[in-house]
A = this chain, B = another copy of it.
Amino acid sequence: MKVKEIMDMNFVVVSADQTIDDVSIRMEEKKRFTTPVVDDDEKLVGWITSLDVTRGFREHKKKVKDIMHSKSDIVTVHEDDPARLAVLEASKHKVVSIPVLNEVEVVVGVVRTFDIVETLSRLYEIKVYKIFKAMEQELRGVSWDELMEASAIVTRRRTGDRVTAEEYEQRIKNSTFGEAIWATGGLEKFFVGFIAIGELVIARKVARARK
């Protein structure tokens, strides 16, 4: 996934000579806490946040250029960068949004942290059931019932939780990848549980084929 697939294109863009009065109205209307400042060619020259605007009002500044951060002080990403770069930059610099540039440094979008959260949380919200369905498809010759039976056995062995195959199936229909990771104690543990289930069904399948 690329930055351009997660960026906001309905962003506010302003010029250095605009008044902070005008700019504040546009930011409030569009509910944007940050906005890129561009020149006549739409190239990035600076960046302002609503906190720069409040300071500007308090200190009786008039124009965007009096309150803006210069381009060299801010984090940017390119539209074709991997989306995960924007994630890392936002996390590292603790910013609420990052301007996105194209190959000629024109501002084409803004990545906002809640766009990132939305993208990341979509991954988390995948049902565990779908992962098991993918597993069933991959493991030709292993039935769904065998998979649920093996899952219940592995769960009983590992947690002491006396779950049946039917209860296990119900559980994965309702739970998401995010819940499963938090419940098992992390990604590696989740994978290990999965591998244990895989090992059991595959060993049974191979044994059956050799009978």
Contact = CB atoms under 8 A, between A and B. Distances in A.
Interface of A: 1, 21, 24-25, 27-28, 31, 33, 49-51, 53-55, 57-58, 82-84, 87-88, 90-91, 94-96, 112-114, 116-118, 120-121, 123-126, 130-131, 134-135, 137-139, 177-179, 181-182, 187-189, 191-192, 194-196, 198-199, 202-203, 206-207, 210
A124 B178 CA distance: 12
A28 B57 contact: no
A91 B121 contact: yes
B124 A87 contact: yes
Nearest to A88: B121
A187 B121 contact: no
A96 B54 CA distance: 18
Nearest to A133: B188
Interface of A, secondary structure class, is helix
Given A113-B96, A181-B123, A134 B54 contact: no
A138 B181 contact: no
A54 B50 contact: yes
B117 A113 contact: yes
A135 to B, nearest CB: 5
A134 B192 contact: yes
Contacts of A135: 191-192, 195
A84 B113 CA distance: 16
A128 B95 CA distance: 28
Contacts of A58: 21, 24-25, 57
B28 A182 contact: no
A139 B90 CA distance: 38
B55 A54 contact: no
